[in-house]
Structure 1
Amino acid sequence: MITPLSTFAEIADRYDGFIFDVWGTLYDGGNAFPEALETVRALADMDKKILVLSNSPRIPAIVEERLTGIGFDLSWFTEVVTSGGMVADIVGNRRDAASAALGERVLWLGRSRFPDTVPDGSFKVVDSVEDADWILNAGPESTESRLEDYEIQLSASIARNLPMICANPDKSVIHGGARHICAGAMAERYEEIGGTVRYFGKPYPEIFARCLDRVGLPAERVLVVGDNLETDILGANRTGVASLLLGCGIHAAALAATADIGERVDALATRHGARPTYFSDVLAW
């Protein structure tokens, strides 16, 4: 059963650590949610361990700058963890066998928007599928990009059997009321046509294990807070961590389709195969 919440304070004492998503949870893509600022500040005042977990293909320092720019104090957080940061660390430094096996030449999708997903000089960046050994998928080149724009490039990559690293498993994001595709949609399409993809980020256990290690708490003492069933909540489910789904983010339109919010949340959870412990419209203290 999914427990509805009126205020976050109702459950604050039940957990010692909190893992917060960013986009759709702490801010709307431009500004911080005032209620989120109040909640995070209140938890920091209680000396709770607070970690930010983002599927951004950027390194943590970039997300930290964004958070401070919209009013969050970095002293409130134990750490900021990003999917791009994991790619920079593991792939950029070839820390495991799969990364070490990648060739030197990379076709970097989204490099103009996301220039720090792997460190400069770690690989040779090429401009064509024909010259590449593998694909780094950080996302589309523009917020106006469509999935169809990449069909020829993805099909040509299949013909050469190029492996793909996806630095952001999110399929879409809402910005200014419009839905824009993310790297996850491009990776999903690549798999559909026969490609091989390695994902870094939510909902995959590797990044949640890193977060639990950073907060230094057992899973049962930690709560994940996010707006996306496919990433935040599914990842929490797979890791054995309690979770709170917010209705103000990616699923807002779907949740507004019926007057009975409880039934709608339950139906959405069933459809996505991910079930939150709690539900709240907004992150209000």
Structure 2
Amino acid sequence: MTTPLSAFADIADRYDGFIFDVWGTLYDGGTAFPEALETVRALAGRDKKMLVLSNSPRVPGIVAERLTGIGFDPAWFTEIVTSGGMVADVVGGRRDGAASALGDRVLWLGRDRFPDTVPADAFTIVERVEDADWVLNAGPERPEAQLDEYEDRLAAAMARGLPMVCANPDKSVLHGGARHLCAGALAERYEEMGGAVRYFGKPYPEIFARCLDRIELPAGRVLVVGDNLETDILGANRTGIDSLLLGCGIHAAALAEKAGAGDPLDTLIKDHGARPRYYAGTLAW
């Protein structure tokens, strides 16, 4: 069962550590949610361990700058972990067999928007599918891009059997009320074509294991807080961590549309195959 939560303070002392999503949880893509800022500040005052976990294809320092700019103090967080940071570390540093097997020449989708997903000198960057050994998918080049704009490039990469590394499993985000395409949608389409994709980020256990290692707490003493059933909550479920789903982010429109037709939250939970322990409309203290 998912327990409705009216105030975060009601469960704050049940956990020693908290892992917070960013987009849709701490801010809306532009400004901080006031309730979230108040809650994080209150937890910091109680000496709770907190960590930020983002599917951003940027390295942690960039996310830290963004959080600072909207009122969060980076000192409140034990660490900031991003999917882009894992790609930079694991793939850029060729730290495992799969990364070592990648060729030198990379077709980098979204490089202009996300220029630090791998170190610039780690690979030879090419502009044509025909010249590439693999595809780095950081996301669309433009926020307003549509999936069909990538159909030809994805099909050409698939025809050559190029492996893809996806630096952001999110399929979309809400920015000021507008839905923007993310790298996860391109990766999903590539898999539909038959392409091989390696994902870094939520909901994959590798990044949650890294978070538990950094926060230095067992899974049973940690709570994941996020707005996305497909990434935040599913990843927590897979790792044995309790979770809180917020209704103010990516699922807000779906929850509103399903209102009046039974339990909209339960319908969404069944649709996505992920169940949070708690649910709240906002991250209010």
Range class of TM-score, shorter chain? over 0.9
SS in 2 for 1:125: strand
Note the 1:213-228 alignment, pairs <5 A.
213-228=213-228
Distance across 2 between alignment mates of 1:227 and 1:82? 16
- Conserved 8 A contact 1:169-1:202: yes
CA distance in structure 1 between the partners assigned to 2:126 and 2:204 by the alignment: 29
In 2: Cα distance, 1:223 partner to 1:267 partner: 23
Please give the alpha-carbon distance, in whole angstroms, between the structure 1 residues aligned to 2:162 and 2:195: 7
Aligned counterpart, 2:58:
58
> What corresponds to 1:43 in structure 2?
43
Q: Which amino acid aligns with 1:180?
A: H
CA distance in 2, matches of 1:246, 1:90: 31
- Cα-Cα RMSD: 1.0
Aligned pairs for 1:85-104 (under 5 A) are 85-104=85-104
Instruction: Verify: 1:125 aligned to 2:125, yes or no.
Output: yes
Q: Which amino acid aligns with 1:17?
A: G
- Could you tell me which residue of structure 2 aligns to residue 10 of structure 1? 10
Letter of the 1:183 partner, please give it: A
Aligned residues: 285
Aligned AA for 1:125? I
Deviations 1:64-97 (A, max 9, x none): 0000000000110000000000000000000000
Does the 8 A contact of 1:223 with 1:244 survive in 2? yes
**Which letter does structure 1 place at the counterpart of 2:281?**
D
SS at match of 2:274: coil
Distance (Å, rounded) in 2 between the aligned partners of 1:266 and 1:276:
10
The residue number in structure 2 matching 1:188 is 188
- The whole-number CA distance in structure 1 between the counterparts of 2:214 and 2:264 is 35
Identity between Structure 1 and Structure 2 (%): 76
- Output the CA distance in 1 between the equivalents of 2:93 and 2:269: 37
Match in the other structure for 1:150: 150
Equivalent residue, structure 2, for 1:139: 139
- Which amino acid letter does the alignment assign opposite residue 32 of structure 1? A
Contact 1:234-1:273 within 8 A present in 2 as well: yes
What is the deviation of 1:264?
A: 1.0
Q: What are the equivalent positions in structure 2 for 1:240-279 lying under 5 Å apart? A: 240-259=240-259, 263-279=263-279
CA contact (8 A) 1:255 1:261 kept: no
Deviation at 1:260? 5.5
State the one-letter code of the partner of 2:10: E
5+ long unaligned stretches in structure 2: none
Structure 2 residue aligned with 1:72 = 72
The answer as to whether partners of 1:202 and 1:235 remain within 8 angstroms in 2 is: yes
1:182 & 1:176 partners in 2: Cα distance? Answer: 15
Aligned to 2:208: 208
Q: Deviations over 1:233-261 (max 9, x none)?
A: 00000000000000000000011124469
Aligned to 1:111: 111
> TM-score, length-normalised on structure 2?
0.99
Structure 1 counterpart SS, 2:257 = coil
Aligned-pair distance for 1:177? Answer: 1.1
Amino acid across the alignment from 2:90: I
